[in-house]
Chain A
Amino acid sequence: MHVIRLAIRNAAGNSFRSWMVFFCAALMAGFVISATLVIRGADDSLRLALERLGADIIVIPEGHERRLESALLMGIPVHCWMPDIIVDEVAALPGVVAVSPQIYLSTLRGAICCSLPELFLIAYDPATDFTIRPWLELNLDAGLALGETVGGSFVYVPAGEDKLLVYGYELDLKANLEPTGTGLDQSLFFTLETAYDIARLSDEYAVKVMDIPPRTVSSVLVKVGRDADVHQVAQLIEAEIPGVTPLETNKLFKDQREQILSLLHSVVALLVITWLLAMALIAVVFSLAVNERRRQMGVMRALGARRGTVLQSVLIEAWLLALSGGLAGIGVSTLAISLFQRAIIAVMNVPFLFPPPLRLAGLSFGALAMALSGVTLAVLVPAVRISLQDPAMSMRE
């Protein structure tokens, strides 16, 4: 016989009490892991999206700020144009060390000339690009040639085909970028040369012409020098170049960030309430259990159990229930979040990125440790009280 076996038998001996503690522990751990996954997932997603952009400032035509954020976050295509002379104007400003133009396009919804509907298309200039080129050099050893493309993590070549069809133009999908949880995951990247080629041939192959107004760009990505202040450069762009809006990328997704922050506050409040209620319930349940087993504890003491052994037997029983409940809570929550990622994004209107396995394991371990600590705290008082009680008194009661 071992004290662990005794604790298992005791836990199995009262199924209602055990299920109650199991459920509370599942709730505690499940809530922690869910909240952490969603909040961290949203935060990571925004951070990765900003990293993917790689620019300090994005200059776009005035009035398109919201639509650009929607495009980057949710993959809702945006169409905006401004004269390409702005690229040189921005490059000439003090503090700016690199500029690169981009053109934003989209596939056609429900058209046979496009194999994927409503895809956000980003054309970049390989000569000046500093956002996607480093990734390409690292992962493909070269840039993209005419007719080649890389896609976000959700972009795929339809079954039975070997090319992506965009405006009837066959694109060779060379690779997929790592997921960000944002609209960038459902975007296609190719060179400006490819974009102009698609536009040129769309008249012949597509149900609708892809229109790129001559001598225009959709945005200018700006990299600021180390010594320069991003905000001051942005102010300078706004003052010097009329009709454009410089978006500081570290201030992008402000609404989403505020939403995440407010969500965090609500979740923390809810978490505290849930934990307090769960801990109170566990404390009551274990107080009842300990009272019920007062004589049993007295008998154990009479048979030679030390105070520590009595304490151990109660704590181990609680830990076993907390461990099994916690694992179940984490498992169910993680599965639910993984299955309903899309619904979470739609309901909360924030991007979401499911963490990689190693981080998930770390978060799960943390949630489990927190549930164990919570249950231990709740059980400690009745467990210590019974272990300190005079055995003769325990047996009399």
Chain B
Amino acid sequence: MISLQNVSKTYSVRGDSSVLAVRNLTMQVEKGEFVIITGRSGSGKTTLLSLVAGLTWPTSGQVLLDGIEVWRLADKEQSLLRNKKIGFVFQFPSLLPTLTSVENVLLPTMFGDKVKGDRSRDRAVMLLEQVGLNDKLRSYPRQLSGGQQQRVVIARALMNEPQLLLADEPTSDLDELTEHEIMALFRNIHALTGVTVLLVTHSNDLAGYGTRLIRMAGGAITDLDD
């Protein structure tokens, strides 16, 4: 499903200096896998996810999603592909503060051409119920705890029935108990839907939740553990 061939990514920073975030990386992820990517801060994990989703372009090499180089697509096709095929869970608080839980979950439907109206609202409510937030449908993000906010984000990521779930440090701001609850939720979703999951974390303790572990350091893969 995902194929990276000799991919490098350099970010230019202020002035003439640049940062090599991903270095000559090659990897494959098959459909239905639950891959955990671990590594310290600055090891290139987040950049790897951005490259897979076409949110940034590789400085060199080739990134294919279902055989398509996403970043080469026109903005319209690229956006539509992300909207239809990929669900995102971010490290930072990513809910829109002015929208309720249901509205946040409905957000991806605003950008795509999938079900709209009552059907999409029913699905949003069902997803929020699945993540245990049936009593928080009309709550705003500020009225939710960190763990509850992440559950809403997960529901949002699943709204358009994606084939790929990209999660960037989804438990970094949570306490240990909530962290494991969220990871269990990912595992259940994977088991129930068969969605391909690429989850980035700096915690080695969470490696057991995936079906495969990849360790990164200095922008490169240091260890592949099947």
A residues near B, CB below 8 A? 1-3, 6, 9-10, 12-13, 295-296, 298-309, 390-393, 395-396
Q: A391 near B56 (CB under 8 angstroms)?
A: yes
Q: B75 near A1 (CB under 8 angstroms)?
A: no
Q: A306 near B79 (CB under 8 angstroms)?
A: yes
Does chain A have a CB within 8 A of B80? yes
Q: A392 near B55 (CB under 8 angstroms)?
A: yes
Q: A302 near B110 (CB under 8 angstroms)?
A: no
Enumerate chain B residues within 8 angstroms of A12, measured Cβ to Cβ: 98
The residue among A1, A298, A300, A305 with the most chain B CB atoms within 10 A of its own CB is A1
> Which of A1, A295, A308, A393 is within 8 Å of B94, CB to CB?
A295
Q: A303 near B47 (CB under 8 angstroms)?
A: no
Q: B55 near A306 (CB under 8 angstroms)?
A: no
Task: Please measure, in the bound complex, the distance between the C-alpha atom of A12 and the C-alpha atom of B46, giving whole angstroms.
Answer: 33
Q: B83 near A303 (CB under 8 angstroms)?
A: yes
Q: State the Cβ distance, B98 to closest chain A Cβ, in Å.
A: 4
- Nearest chain-A residue to B102 (Cβ)? A1
Does chain A have a CB within 8 A of B97? yes
Q: State the Cβ distance, A393 to closest chain B Cβ, in Å.
A: 7
Q: A1 near B56 (CB under 8 angstroms)?
A: no
Q: State the Cβ distance, B163 to closest chain A Cβ, in Å.
A: 14
Q: Given A13-B97, A304-B82, is A392 in contact with B56 using a C-beta cutoff of 8 Å?
A: yes
Enumerate chain B residues within 8 angstroms of A6, measured Cβ to Cβ: 96, 98-99, 110
Listed by A's residue number, 26 A-B pairs whose Cβ atoms lie within 8 Å are A1-B109, A3-B110, A6-B96, A6-B98, A6-B110, A9-B96, A12-B98, A295-B92, A295-B94, A299-B90, A299-B94, A299-B96, A301-B79, A302-B55, A302-B82, A303-B88, A303-B107, A303-B108, A304-B82, A304-B83, A307-B75, A390-B56, A391-B55, A391-B56, A395-B50, A396-B46
Count, chain B residues at interface, CB 8 A: 33
Q: A304 near B79 (CB under 8 angstroms)?
A: yes
Q: State the Cβ distance, A223 to closest chain B Cβ, in Å.
A: 69
- Nearest chain-A residue to B160 (Cβ)? A304
Task: Please measure, in the bound complex, the distance between the C-alpha atom of A391 and the C-alpha atom of B57, giving whole angstroms.
Answer: 11
Q: B79 near A296 (CB under 8 angstroms)?
A: no
Does chain A have a CB within 8 A of B35? no
Q: Given A1-B109, A301-B55, is A306 in contact with B76 using a C-beta cutoff of 8 Å?
A: yes
Q: B96 near A304 (CB under 8 angstroms)?
A: no
Q: A304 near B108 (CB under 8 angstroms)?
A: yes
Q: State the Cβ distance, A58 to closest chain B Cβ, in Å.
A: 67
Task: Please measure, in the bound complex, the distance between the C-alpha atom of A1 and the C-alpha atom of B101, giving whole angstroms.
Answer: 12
Enumerate chain B residues within 8 angstroms of A10, measured Cβ to Cβ: 98
Task: Please measure, in the bound complex, the distance between the C-alpha atom of A3 and the C-alpha atom of B47, giving whole angstroms.
Answer: 29
Task: Please measure, in the bound complex, the distance between the C-alpha atom of A279 and the C-alpha atom of B131, giving whole angstroms.
Answer: 46
Q: B111 near A300 (CB under 8 angstroms)?
A: yes
Q: B90 near A395 (CB under 8 angstroms)?
A: yes
Enumerate chain B residues within 8 angstroms of A309, measured Cβ to Cβ: 79, 111
- Nearest chain-A residue to B111 (Cβ)? A304
Does chain A have a CB within 8 A of B167? no
Task: Please measure, in the bound complex, the distance between the C-alpha atom of A301 and the C-alpha atom of B76, giving whole angstroms.
Answer: 11
Task: Please measure, in the bound complex, the distance between the C-alpha atom of A13 and the C-alpha atom of B96, giving whole angstroms.
Answer: 10
Q: Given A13-B97, A306-B79, is A1 in contact with B53 using a C-beta cutoff of 8 Å?
A: no
- Nearest chain-A residue to B166 (Cβ)? A302
Q: A1 near B55 (CB under 8 angstroms)?
A: no
- Nearest chain-A residue to B83 (Cβ)? A304
- Nearest chain-A residue to B120 (Cβ)? A1
Task: Please measure, in the bound complex, the distance between the C-alpha atom of A295 and the C-alpha atom of B103, giving whole angstroms.
Answer: 18
Enumerate chain B residues within 8 angstroms of A296, measured Cβ to Cβ: 94, 96
Enumerate chain A residues within 8 angstroms of B111, measured Cβ to Cβ: 300, 303-306, 309
The 0/1 profile, CB within 8 Å of A marked 1, for residues 102-127 of chain B is 01001111111000000000000000
Q: B47 near A392 (CB under 8 angstroms)?
A: yes
Q: B112 near A304 (CB under 8 angstroms)?
A: yes
Enumerate chain A residues within 8 angstroms of B215, measured Cβ to Cβ: none
Q: State the Cβ distance, B159 to closest chain A Cβ, in Å.
A: 9
Enumerate chain B residues within 8 angstroms of A393, measured Cβ to Cβ: 11, 56
Task: Please measure, in the bound complex, the distance between the C-alpha atom of A305 and the C-alpha atom of B96, giving whole angstroms.
Answer: 14
Enumerate chain B residues within 8 angstroms of A392, measured Cβ to Cβ: 47, 50, 55-56
Enumerate chain B residues within 8 angstroms of A390, measured Cβ to Cβ: 55-56
Q: A303 near B98 (CB under 8 angstroms)?
A: no
The residue among B75, B79, B103, B160 with the most chain A CB atoms within 10 A of its own CB is B79
Does chain A have a CB within 8 A of B84? yes
Q: A303 near B82 (CB under 8 angstroms)?
A: yes
Enumerate chain B residues within 8 angstroms of A295, measured Cβ to Cβ: 92, 94
